[in-house]
């Protein structure tokens, strides 16, 4: 870091602000997380391994990460669509639609879970028409995905929206003038500029879904090996006063989530360099 | 900050300070979910009783959530004066950590459980599947809603009741295991807690029969209207004790030991036993039990100690990871 660069900074006090940032992050994030790791130290390596690799626990990882990935993927596609509509079109009630997007942020997730279950169960508004067709959503893994789509929706919309708003229409017009088809304009002009934002939204929706508890347990049915999410395994262990076992599973989730977020970050950086 | 906000802040600080001064006359009862209504009535009765006998005004706060979640909160520092739980393991956990007395079960009559409950079946109005006893639950096509024994005391008692019912009829341990395994094969949804199970059964219309606490039946009739469900008394079921204990750690600090003891003692009075009976919690008092014979239909009961030693041992053998429940119940495993 040379003197020339630091002279250009708008705000003074780099040392102070960085120090404060690290201090604050330590108190809010790092110390609680290290407490989590320390709690697992009461286990021997064999006990730790047994706690995190039981078949039930493995099945719950598959379900939690699989359902979260699927839900984030759905949100990626439809979140982009919603962001596009909100940015590019004018229609009556647009403000309301815009506000609706944020609702899953604000709603207590248990409320979301209970209302979705009421809707999709065999006697619910929607469930009563689906169940005769042999489609059961509530109390099945499909229900979990739906709950996770619900709570993850705002992330993609809210990260892509500002980028779309900033993108210059002239570029698209120029592409059209130069003879590009609509599809070419979309894939060659629009998509590259919003991909980093899309990936960020995807990562956030995914991370949120992995940690989700409230909305899922009501709709999941909670059957071991089938529809039991990892957070429920953790709660189950706590109910047995198995603090160490619960934290062991939590540490595994933490590590997997961290790796996935790193991968997505790397993807984003690669995208930025490319464009 | 404007002056109004500042004033409110100062006022609330002053209030908090006066609250601390009055701490000796206030009591926090940390309890389980479905006891909320019972303790609301009981607290009113106790405050009046205490005023009459000692002339002192007292205030009682209550906190309710899942029984073991509450025990964990108290262990982690929630300043409860007394705990009133629905499973002895939760109080034993606190005793093991030195929060309540080691011999807590001997401090009050009836193993420190002033009331009990039992596990019953709830079926839909008219009992369309004709469910009468435990054997009917393993018939093909019968769907049973029950709480996950890993996450709720309600679920643990349901499991133990089913197991013990086989033993009570002369079955062996192996036959009990087989029966319980078959029963859980008929379970389409494992609820997280007692109230969750009720909602799944009644509001979501899942399953043919719900296994739950007797006391839940009264709440259901109150919430959903009588006649939506029928309570079925199986030939035999388990005694579910509702243990109480003074939290020594808190009362030593706050100086509320006497008040806490008086609060729990009064649970054994005829008046309190009658309040419990009104909430369908089984009183220990024979006289009150007889008076409410309409609510508490006779059924043969066995204690957890008879077949499982204690709930703590049952927990180890049956519900801990890798235990009997895990062996019997893995629906997705091929």
Q: How confident is the model at residue A275 (pLDDT cuts 50, 70, 90)?
A: low
- How does the average pLDDT of chain A come out, rounded? 88
Q: Do B188 and A122 touch (CB under 8 A)?
A: no
Walking along chain B (334 residues) 10 residues at a time, the average pLDDT comes out as 53 49 77 87 95 93 87 91 92 94 94 94 92 94 92 90 95 94 92 85 90 84 78 93 94 93 96 93 93 87 93 90 84 49
Sheet with B59-65, strands from edge to edge, namely B59-65, B26-32, B82-84, B244-246
Q: How confident is the model at residue A251 (pLDDT cuts 50, 70, 90)?
A: very high
Residues from chain A contacting residue B148 (CB–CB below 8 Å): 222, 236
Please tell me the predicted confidence (pLDDT) of residue B334: 39
Residue A243, H or E segment: helix A243-274
Please tell me the predicted confidence (pLDDT) of residue A9: 66
Q: Does B48 touch chain A (CB under 8 A)?
A: no
Q: Which of A55, A62, A240, A118 is nearest to B148 (CA)?
A: A240
Q: Do B331 and A224 touch (CB under 8 A)?
A: yes
Candidate from B93, B204, B332 with C-beta closest to A224? B332
Please tell me the predicted confidence (pLDDT) of residue B143: 94
Q: What percent of chain A stands above pLDDT 90?
A: 37
Question: CB neighbours (10 Å) of residue A13?
Answer: 10
Interface test with B, best of A120, A240, A243 (most B CBs within 10 A): A240
Distance in angstroms (rounded) separating the CA atoms of residues A32 and B324:
34
Q: Does B204 touch chain A (CB under 8 A)?
A: yes
Q: Do A223 and B66 touch (CB under 8 A)?
A: no
Q: Does B286 touch chain A (CB under 8 A)?
A: no
> Minimal Cα–Cα distance from B175 to chain A, Å?
23
What size, in residues, is chain B?
A: 334
Please tell me the predicted confidence (pLDDT) of residue A118: 87
Q: Does A267 touch chain B (CB under 8 A)?
A: no
Distance in angstroms (rounded) separating the CA atoms of residues B43 and A183:
71
User: What interface predicted TM-score (ipTM) does this complex get?
Assistant: 0.72
Residues from chain B contacting residue A138 (CB–CB below 8 Å): 204
Residues from chain A contacting residue B85 (CB–CB below 8 Å): none
Q: How confident is the model at residue A2 (pLDDT cuts 50, 70, 90)?
A: very low
A265 neighbors A200 (Cβ within 8 angstroms)? no
The three-class DSSP label of residue B38 is: helix
Higher-confidence residue: A124 or B98? B98
Residues of A numbered 137-166 whose beta carbons fall under 8 angstroms of chain B's beta carbons: which are they? 138-139
Candidate from B151, B199, B322 with C-beta closest to A239? B151
Residues from chain B contacting residue A221 (CB–CB below 8 Å): 188-190
Q: Does A226 touch chain B (CB under 8 A)?
A: yes
Q: Do A121 and B204 touch (CB under 8 A)?
A: yes
Q: Does A60 touch chain B (CB under 8 A)?
A: no
Q: Does B201 touch chain A (CB under 8 A)?
A: no
Candidate from B189, B321, B330 with C-beta closest to A221? B189
> Minimal Cα–Cα distance from A204 to chain B, Å?
28
Distance in angstroms (rounded) separating the CA atoms of residues B146 and A73:
34
E runs forming strands in B142-275:
144-147, 190-191, 209-213, 229-232, 236-238, 240-242, 244-246
- The DSSP output letter for B112 is H
| Interacting residues of A55 by C-beta distance below 8 A, sequence separation 6+ | A225, B330, B333
Highest mean pLDDT among A71-75, A226-230, A271-275, B88-92 belongs to A71-75
Q: Does A59 touch chain B (CB under 8 A)?
A: yes
Q: Do B151 and A236 touch (CB under 8 A)?
A: yes
Q: Which of A268, A236, A52 is nearest to B190 (CA)?
A: A236
Q: Which of B124, B121, B140 is nearest to B204 (CA)?
A: B124
Residues from chain B contacting residue A239 (CB–CB below 8 Å): 66, 68-69, 150-152
Q: Do A232 and B151 touch (CB under 8 A)?
A: yes
Q: How confident is the model at residue A143 (pLDDT cuts 50, 70, 90)?
A: very high
Alpha carbon B23 to its chain centroid, in Å, reads 28
Lowest mean pLDDT among A220-224, A252-256, B84-88: A220-224
Candidate from A114, A224, A242 with C-beta closest to B330? A224
Candidate from A51, A223, A236 with C-beta closest to B332? A223
Q: Does A241 touch chain B (CB under 8 A)?
A: yes
Q: Do A225 and B205 touch (CB under 8 A)?
A: no
The backbone region for B205, taken as left when phi is positive above 0, alpha when psi lies in -120 to 50, beta otherwise, is left
What per-residue string of b and e applies to B139-158 under the rule 16 or more CB within 10 Å gives b?
eeebebbbbbbbbbbbbbbb
- pTM score: 0.79
pLDDT tens for A25-58 read 888 888 888 888 888 888 889 989 988 998 889 9
Distance in angstroms (rounded) separating the CA atoms of residues A36 and B106:
37
Q: Concatenated DSSP letters for B283-325? A: ES-HHHHHHTTTTS---EEE-HHHHHS-HHHHIIIIISTTSHH
Residues of A numbered 75-114 whose beta carbons fall under 8 angstroms of chain B's beta carbons: which are they? 114
Q: Does B66 touch chain A (CB under 8 A)?
A: yes
Residue A198, H or E segment: helix A191-210
B283 neighbors B276 (Cβ within 8 angstroms)? yes
Q: Do B205 and A217 touch (CB under 8 A)?
A: no
Q: Do A221 and B150 touch (CB under 8 A)?
A: no
Q: Does A242 touch chain B (CB under 8 A)?
A: yes
């Amino acid at each position: 870091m040379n003197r020339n660069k630091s002279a250009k900074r708008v705000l003074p006090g780099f040392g102070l602000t960085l120090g404060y940032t690290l201090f604050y992050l330590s108190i809010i994030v790092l110390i609680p997380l290290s407490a989590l790791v320390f709690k697992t130290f009461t286990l021997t390596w064999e006990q730790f391994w047994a706690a995190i690799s039981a078949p039930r626990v493995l099945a719950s990882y598959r379900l939690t990460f699989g359902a979260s990935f699927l839900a984030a993927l759905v949100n990626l596609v439809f979140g982009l669509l919603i962001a596009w509509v909100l940015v590019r079109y004018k229609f009556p009630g647009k403000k309301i639609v815009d506000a609706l997007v944020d609702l899953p942020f604000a709603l207590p997730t248990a409320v979301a879970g209970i209302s979705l279950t009421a809707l999709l169960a065999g006697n619910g508004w929607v469930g009563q028409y689906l169940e005769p067709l042999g489609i059961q959503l509530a109390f099945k893994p499909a229900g979990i995905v739906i709950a996770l789509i619900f709570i993850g929706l705002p992330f993609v919309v809210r990260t892509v929206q500002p980028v779309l708003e900033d993108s210059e229409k002239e570029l698209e017009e120029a592409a059209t003038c130069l003879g590009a088809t609509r599809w070419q304009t979309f894939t060659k002009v629009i998509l590259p500029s919003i991909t980093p934002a899309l990936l960020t939204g995807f990562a956030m929706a995914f991370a949120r879904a992995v940690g989700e508890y409230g909305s899922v347990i009501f709709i999941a049915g909670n059957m071991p090996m089938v529809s039991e999410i990892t957070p429920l395994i953790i709660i189950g262990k706590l109910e047995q006063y198995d603090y160490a076992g619960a934290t062991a599973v939590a540490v595994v989730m933490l590590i997997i989530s961290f790796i996935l977020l790193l991968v997505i970050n790397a993807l984003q950086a690669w995208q930025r360099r490319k464009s | 900050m404007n002056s109004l906000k500042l004033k409110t802040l100062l006022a609330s600080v002053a209030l908090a300070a006066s609250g601390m001064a009055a701490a000796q006359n206030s009591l926090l009862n940390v309890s389980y979910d479905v006891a909320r209504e019972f303790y609301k009535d009981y607290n009113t009765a106790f405050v009046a009783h205490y005023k009459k006998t000692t002339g002192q005004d007292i205030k009682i706060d209550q906190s309710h959530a899942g029984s073991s979640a509450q025990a964990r909160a108290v262990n982690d520092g929630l300043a409860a004066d007394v705990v009133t739980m629905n499973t002895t393991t939760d109080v034993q956990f606190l005793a093991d950590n030195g929060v309540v007395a080691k011999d807590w079960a001997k401090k009050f009559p009836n193993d420190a459980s002033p009331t009990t409950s039992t596990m019953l079946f709830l079926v839909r109005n008219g009992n369309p599947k004709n469910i009468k006893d435990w054997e009917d639950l393993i018939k093909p096509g019968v769907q049973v809603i029950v709480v996950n024994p890993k996450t709720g005391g309600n679920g643990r008692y349901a499991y133990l009741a089913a197991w013990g019912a086989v033993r009570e009829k002369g079955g062996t341990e192996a036959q009990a295991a087989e029966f319980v395994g078959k029963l859980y094969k008929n379970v389409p949804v494992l609820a997280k807690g007692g109230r969750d199970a009720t909602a799944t059964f009644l509001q979501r219309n899942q399953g043919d029969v719900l296994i739950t606490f007797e006391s839940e039946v009264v709440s259901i009739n109150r919430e959903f209207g009588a006649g939506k469900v029928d309570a079925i008394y199986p030939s035999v079921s388990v005694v579910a004790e509702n243990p109480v204990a003074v939290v020594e750690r808190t009362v030593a600090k706050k100086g509320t030991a006497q008040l806490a003891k008086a609060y729990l003692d009064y649970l054994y009075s005829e008046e309190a036993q009658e309040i419990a009976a009104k909430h369908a919690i089984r009183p220990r008092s024979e006289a009150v039990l007889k008076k409410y014979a309409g609510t508490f239909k006779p059924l043969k009961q066995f204690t957890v100690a008879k077949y499982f030693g204690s709930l703590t041992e049952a927990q180890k053998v049956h519900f801990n990871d890798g235990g009997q429940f895990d062996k019997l119940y893995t629906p997705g495993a091929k």
